[in-house]
Copies of this chain bind each other. A is one copy, B any other.
Amino acid sequence: MSDIGIILGSDTDLPKIRDCIKILEEFGVSFEIIISSAHRTPEQTHEWAKSARAKGLKVIIAVAGGAAHLPGVVAAQTTLPVIGVPVETPIAGGLDSILSILQMPSGIPVATMAAGKSGGINAALFAITILAISNEGLLLKLEAHRKKTAENISDNNKKLKSQGYAKYIDALENEKDP
């Protein structure tokens, strides 16, 4: 029995949420993943969404791009919180995905995250934030995660001070193009 259900419209979206999954693993949150399209496998999508609560899922993460109907279609079949992750596209970097997920009519909410890589990561963290309302253990991990993020920046500042900006930038650019 998993806490989080992840649904993707296409297997080609899987790499875009690799970091999302890693966060869930890092926090020890159980999850299941399904590939199911709002349009190509509507019955599977409805059934999965409809039975999500009964199966014990607590939060759903739905990933889609373009006319990204999946998060809204899932939200129409469940009273669990649904988090939508827009996939980047050529249309202004994913404005189609963003607006298709975001502009839901009143009655059926979807919680939209940023387009791109940080959207996937934040979907995982937001799901954990929801679970952590009543889970002390997760809350402590969440606080530790925030602390570590802050410490990374502190480390970067030390490195910047000791190396100087020029060396720091050169090192960053070498990482990108080895």
At the interface, yes or no: A125 with Cβ under 8 Å from chain B?
Answer: yes
A62 part of interface (Cβ distance < 8 Å): no
> Which residues from B are CB-within-8-Å of A42?
46, 73, 76-77
Please, which residues of chain B bring their CB within 8 A of the CB of A99?
A: 67, 91, 95-96, 99-100
CB-nearest residue of chain B to A176: B15
Number of this chain's copies in the complex:
8
CB pair A79 B118 closer than 8 Å = no
Chain B CB within 10 Å, residue with most, of A111, A116, A143: A111
Known: A91-B115, A121-B106. A139 touches B98 (CB 8 A): no
Contact check, A109 vs B81: say whether CB atoms are below 8 A apart: no
Can you list 29 A-B contacts with CB-CB less than 8 angstroms, sorted by A residue number? A18-B166, A33-B165, A35-B153, A36-B153, A38-B69, A39-B76, A39-B104, A40-B76, A40-B149, A40-B150, A44-B150, A59-B133, A67-B102, A73-B73, A79-B129, A81-B129, A83-B111, A89-B93, A91-B93, A91-B115, A95-B95, A96-B103, A98-B102, A102-B112, A103-B115, A104-B114, A107-B146, A108-B122, A108-B125
A contacts, CB < 8 Å to B: 9-12, 14-15, 18-19, 21, 33-42, 44, 46, 58-59, 66-67, 69, 72-73, 75-77, 79-81, 83, 88-96, 98-118, 121-123, 125-126, 129-130, 132-134, 139, 142-143, 146, 149-150, 153-154, 156-157, 160, 165-166, 168-169, 172-173
